[in-house]
A and B are shown apart, each in its own frame.
Chain A
Amino acid sequence: MPAGAPLLTLSGVSKHFGGLQVINDLDFVVHEEETVGLIGPNGAGKSTVFNLITSIYQPDRGSIKFKGNEITGLAPHKICHLGISRTYQLVRAFLKMTVMENVMTAAVYGAKHLSQSPKQRTMEALELVELSDKRDIKAAHLTLSDRRLLEIAMGLSSMPALVLLDEPMAGLTEVEIQRLLGVIGATRDERRFSVLWIEHKVDAVLDFCDRVGVLDYGAKIADGCPDDVACNPKVIEAYLGEPVA
């Protein structure tokens, strides 16, 4: 897929917690209609990147631009209004609310001035993730995989330009992973949004993404098409350790 104009640009972003440098001078770009994977070993700082983009943390240095506008330090809800939606590694649905109410909340507050009514967008998002028939069930009673789909539906209902997926496949069975991949692939092709995908399961990302970035100790060690990244000695080293002499 040919890459369009840059949608999200991180330049020189750094973040530390106490003495721990979590993100170190990170440059990263996501283009329009591009699916980008972000992989790396445990503690490489992948989720922190998401928390910086969505303003849950403020970067120490560097700038984050979305559609050419500076979004560094903007309130989290404003970042959502601009068209960035995200999911969480540990699903954060509103457990005591029904599936419908969950998605309605995101549809009503996630975006303003859209031609479609929030209800239409809710129904459509539920249709896309195939949760329509479970819309009156409370989120607390859903399975983990349905909750992940619910969170994706919540993100979709605000018609985002960029979807951030934080380890959507963690804890799912093979069948559930296939279903999730199918849903994400189909909606991406229909809605034409960009995806930035953090994942631990490297093979899924390498199959699914146009481009893959690799983080290790908060620094980007590789960035390119999946095949090149998979063969990159630095990446292999980050995952498997240094080669023996």
Chain B
Amino acid sequence: MGGIERIESADVRLVAGTKGLNKRKLIWAGLGVLAVVFFGTLPFYYDVHNGQYGVFFFNVFVYAIVAQGWNLIGGYTGQISLGQNAFFGIGAYTMALLWFNDVTKTGYYFDPVLMIASAVAPAIVAVLVGLPLLSRLRGDYFAFGTLGMGMIVTVLFINGGYFTGGAEGRMLVSKMPPDVVFNLRTHYWVAFLVAVLVTLVVYFLTSSRVGLALKAIREDEVAAASHGVNVLKYKVIAFAVGASTAGVAGSIYGYYLLQVTPSNVLTQNWLFYPILMVVLGGTGTILGPWVGAFLIYLLSWYGDQYFTGYSPILSGVVIILVMLFLPSGIMGLGQKVPDWGKRVRGSG
């Protein structure tokens, strides 16, 4: 992981447009392509359906998607949203209810229309909730506002009666097209593809002009406004994009479980683990969510095997240690390396 963090500084300079950095950017783009090729072709030489690492990486990808979305709103824009589990659940339920009621009538498994709908629905909710919350509440108060929204959404789905299926949710197994055999390989690929796409979207969004506005809002809202940034507009954009990534992840997870219930898609695991991952990996860095998702999931994976029932304690200990010794995450640790390199080169 030695220099992955440099992507962030290369990214910064992309905007600055200084020379001599394209080489480093190329190296990292190359390594990124290698990683994508490796994970993309893994199912060809490893049986992801029967081997345990298939499930492992599938979960890492789903968490990475949610974490990347939170990274955009929390890491780059500085608005701590505690409502991501609600968006994850809304995404999962959008897919499940549309599929269950045969709204699209295509009968596809992994219907792209349903997946797009599960990205759009949370975004609409995010705009409707975000406009009042983001214009009125700042900092901690916004965080509590979104936490409240998450609780409301959870209760609405539990008490949704026949429409949502209540606490038992919706069983989707019966909806599986008869000619499709459940194979985790499909899920692995879909989750991986979406995770890469979401990473690219966040990367291009944050290294574009929009990214300047988002970071300016994070740094100083009042100053951003007085330099002409429409603060509310960009906060709502970031909130909505973050929500729709969580929603897509929800639909992918729903396809994997084939049963969508409040206790599995609206649980606060989908809120706190992604935040933990972003903070551990490095908030406001493009690879931080990936590193965090991998490490935290690894920890809970082996924690579950060796300390069954106690593994959340491990995550708790890790986050305390991270906050104490690595407040800017693993990526922040490496940030010092390029700085040091720059100084050496500057004096030479």
Chain A positions near chain B (C-beta within 8 angstroms): 54, 56, 75-77, 79-81, 85-86, 88, 92-98, 100-101, 104-106, 108-111, 118-119, 135-136, 154-155, 158
Contact with A along B220-252 (1 / 0, CB 8 A): 101111111111000000000000000000000
Best-buried of B218, B226, B230 by chain A (most CB within 10 Å): B226
Q: Which of B45-53, B63-71, B185-193, B209-217 lies at the interface? A: B209-217
CA distance A110 to B213 in the complex (A): 11
Q: Kindly list chain B residues whose C-beta atoms are within 8 Å of the C-beta of A92.
A: 220, 222-223
Residue of B at shortest CB range from A119? B17
Q: Kindly list chain B residues whose C-beta atoms are within 8 Å of the C-beta of A136.
A: 13, 16, 18
Contact A100 B16 (CB under 8 A): yes
Contact B223 A88 (CB under 8 A): yes
Q: How far is the CB of B209 from chain A (nearest CB, A)?
A: 5
Interface members, chain B 16-37 (any A CB < 8 Å): 16-18
Q: Kindly list chain A residues whose C-beta atoms are within 8 Å of the C-beta of B16.
A: 98, 100-101, 104, 135-136
Residue of B at shortest CB range from A99? B16
Give 4 A-B pairs besides A101-B12, A104-B15, A109-B216 with Cβ atoms closer than 8 angstroms. A97-B212, A105-B216, A106-B227, A136-B18
Residue of A at shortest CB range from B215? A97
Q: Kindly list chain B residues whose C-beta atoms are within 8 Å of the C-beta of A155.
A: 227
B219 at the binding interface (Cβ < 8 Å): yes
Q: How far is the CB of A135 from chain B (nearest CB, A)?
A: 7
Residue of A at shortest CB range from B212? A105
Contact B215 A101 (CB under 8 A): yes
Chain B positions near chain A (C-beta within 8 angstroms): 12-13, 15-18, 209, 212-213, 215-216, 218-220, 222-231
A100-B16, A101-B12, A105-B213 known; A110-B219 Cβ under 8 A: no
Q: How far is the CB of B56 from chain A (nearest CB, A)?
A: 34
A104-B15, A119-B17 known; A110-B216 Cβ under 8 A: no
Cross-interface CB contact of A104 among B212, B223, B226, B228, cutoff 8 Å: B212
Cross-interface CB contact of B225 among A75, A119, A135, cutoff 8 Å: A75
Q: How far is the CB of A144 from chain B (nearest CB, A)?
A: 16
CA distance A97 to B215 in the complex (A): 8
A101-B12, A105-B212 known; A93-B223 Cβ under 8 A: yes
Q: How far is the CB of B66 from chain A (nearest CB, A)?
A: 24
Residue of A at shortest CB range from B213? A109
Q: Kindly list chain B residues whose C-beta atoms are within 8 Å of the C-beta of A95.
A: 219
Contact A109 B229 (CB under 8 A): yes
Q: Kindly list chain B residues whose C-beta atoms are within 8 Å of the C-beta of A109.
A: 212-213, 216, 227-230
CA distance A56 to B216 in the complex (A): 17
Q: Kindly list chain A residues whose C-beta atoms are within 8 Å of the C-beta of B230.
A: 75, 77, 109
CA distance A92 to B216 in the complex (A): 10
Q: How far is the CB of B216 from chain A (nearest CB, A)?
A: 5
CA distance A113 to B17 in the complex (A): 22
A119-B17, A136-B18 known; A98-B228 Cβ under 8 A: no
Contact A111 B225 (CB under 8 A): no
Q: Kindly list chain B residues whose C-beta atoms are within 8 Å of the C-beta of A81.
A: 228
Contact B227 A154 (CB under 8 A): yes
Cross-interface CB contact of B229 among A77, A79, A88, cutoff 8 Å: A77
